[in-house]
């Protein structure tokens, strides 16, 4: 009987061992399943739970047109080059299927460049379209102001009385006024040095129209408009018309170091009236331009001039419309003004 009990007890222990092993195997299998499931969730989380390989590329080029890909070239004269460059850069950033080259050119070359097809668009300044045989669109303006050295010998006199049109004519047109004591009799003798922009430039053409004469031999032309700043800054007797873009710092609105902008006695009453004292800072000048106080014949327009029979007229038209619609957000960064409506 004891032997039988021992036999059955042995079988029970054996069965229990077998069950224990099976239980361990089951538990281990469950653990492996949980680990595998955890890894799967982790991978899904890292990938954002997406298996779609057709995700959009964030660097996909922007094309805001229905045009065939292509390229145009723009010729820009000195006074309009910054304007053309900024507008072109903004345009191609939003129309990446189009390439625009901006080429610096001289005023005397623009007609040939546009006629020959070397460029498809000209951006240039003037008080009227410099190429009347071609279609033009006004994109922006800048203002021509009369500047002297900050240490001018009669600066106080000029601030109070300004310069009359007769005096300006005597300085730039006839050359009869060649010393500052000819304007203010109380002043010491300091030679007067009139300066002008580059030959055939829009600046010179507008000033010649303003004084209704060519320049006297005493007036010296510089290579570029920007050179006028340094030329005036180093010479206390210098005087010149220049763009407000050069005469002011268009970020701070203050006058450029070394320069002073003087009023013009437009109504010739012998004193600078309130309506003529508009040059203290850039904001005052802008207000005068908007309300019509600034002399209209010293406003320089910047034109888009196109050959309607030229290549890729579709791109030129699309770019011109872009410039008209976006100019206010772009041109101010380069110091230009919007054309008056």
Residues 160 and 286 in one domain: yes
With cut-offs at 50, 70 and 90, classify the pLDDT of residue 310: confident
For residue 304, the domain's CATH number is: 3.40.190.10
Residues 284 and 220 in one domain: yes
Cα 246 to its chain centre, rounded Å, is 14
Is residue 25 pLDDT above 60, yes or no?
A: no
Is residue 62 pLDDT above 80, yes or no?
A: yes
Is residue 42 pLDDT above 50, yes or no?
A: no
| Residue 325 in domain | yes
Instruction: Please give the pLDDT value at position 59.
Output: 52
Pairwise CA distance, residues 213 & 216, whole Å: 9
CA–CA distances in Å: residue 32 to residues 25, 26, 29, 39, 198: 10, 10, 5, 11, 85
Which residue is it, tokens 């209209």?
296
Instruction: Please give the pLDDT value at position 40.
Output: 43
* pLDDT tens readout for residues 69-106: 999 999 999 999 999 999 999 999 999 999 999 999 99
With cut-offs at 50, 70 and 90, classify the pLDDT of residue 308: confident
The pair phi, psi for residue 102, each rounded to 5°, is: -105, 120
Residue that wins the pLDDT comparison between 22 and 134: 134
Q: What is the mean pLDDT of the chain?
A: 85
| Residue 109 in domain | yes
Q: In which domain, by residue range, is 236 found?
A: 143-299
Q: State the pTM of this model.
A: 0.80
With cut-offs at 50, 70 and 90, classify the pLDDT of residue 60: low
- Burial of 341 (C-beta count, 10 Å sphere; 0-12/13-18/19+): exposed
Is residue 334 pLDDT above 60, yes or no?
A: yes
Per the CB < 8 A criterion, the answer to whether 164 and 273 are in contact is no
- What is the H or E stretch that residue 121 is in? strand 121-126
With cut-offs at 50, 70 and 90, classify the pLDDT of residue 340: confident
The dihedral through the CA atoms of 241, 286, 341, 276 has a sign that is negative
Instruction: Please give the pLDDT value at position 65.
Output: 85
Residues 175 and 283 in one domain: yes
Share of the chain above pLDDT 70, in %: 82
Residues 198 and 150 in one domain: yes
* pLDDT tens readout for residues 104-146: 999 999 999 999 999 999 999 999 999 999 999 999 999 999 9
Angle at 221 between CA 218 and CA 226, to 5 degrees: 140
Is residue 11 pLDDT above 60, yes or no?
A: no
Pairwise CA distance, residues 276 & 144, whole Å: 14
Which residues, 6+ apart, have CB-to-CB distance to 195 below 8 Å?
219, 220, 221, 222, 228, 231, 232, 238, 239, 240
Residues 76 and 163 in one domain: no
Number of domains in the chain: 2
């Amino acid at each position: 009987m004891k032997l039988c009990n021992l036999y059955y007890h042995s079988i029970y222990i054996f069965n229990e061992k077998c069950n224990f092993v099976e239980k361990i195997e089951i538990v281990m299998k469950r653990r492996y399943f949980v680990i595998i499931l955890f890894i799967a969730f982790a991978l899904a989380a890292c990938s954002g739970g997406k298996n779609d390989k057709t995700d959009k590329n964030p660097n996909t080029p922007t094309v805001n047109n229905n045009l065939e890909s292509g390229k145009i070239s723009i010729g820009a004269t000195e006074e309009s080059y910054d304007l053309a460059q900024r507008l072109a850069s903004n345009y191609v950033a939003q129309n990446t299927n189009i390439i625009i080259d901006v080429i610096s050119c001289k005023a005397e070359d623009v007609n040939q460049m546009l006629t020959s097809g070397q460029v498809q668009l000209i951006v240039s300044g003037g008080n009227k379209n410099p190429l009347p045989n071609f279609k033009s669109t006004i994109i922006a303006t800048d203002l021509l102001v009369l500047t002297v050295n900050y240490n001018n010998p009669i600066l106080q006199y000029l601030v109070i009385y300004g310069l009359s049109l007769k005096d300006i004519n005597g300085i730039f047109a006839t050359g009869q006024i060649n010393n500052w004591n000819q304007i203010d009799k109380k002043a010491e003798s300091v030679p007067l040095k009139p300066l002008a922009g580059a030959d055939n430039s829009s600046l010179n053409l507008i000033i010649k129209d303003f004084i209704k004469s060519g320049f006297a031999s005493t007036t010296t032309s510089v290579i570029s408009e920007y050179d006028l700043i340094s030329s005036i800054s180093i010479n206390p007797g210098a005087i010149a018309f220049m763009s407000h873009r050069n005469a002011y710092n268009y970020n701070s609105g203050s006058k450029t170091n070394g320069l002073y902008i003087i009023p013009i006695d437009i109504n010739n009453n012998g004193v600078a009236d309130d309506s003529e004292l508009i040059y203290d800072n850039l904001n005052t000048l802008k207000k005068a331009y908007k309300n019509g106080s600034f002399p209209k014949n010293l406003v320089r327009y910047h034109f888009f001039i196109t050959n309607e029979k030229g290549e890729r007229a579709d791109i030129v038209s699309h770019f011109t419309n872009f410039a008209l619609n976006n100019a206010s957000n772009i041109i101010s960064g380069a110091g230009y003004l919007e054309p008056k409506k």
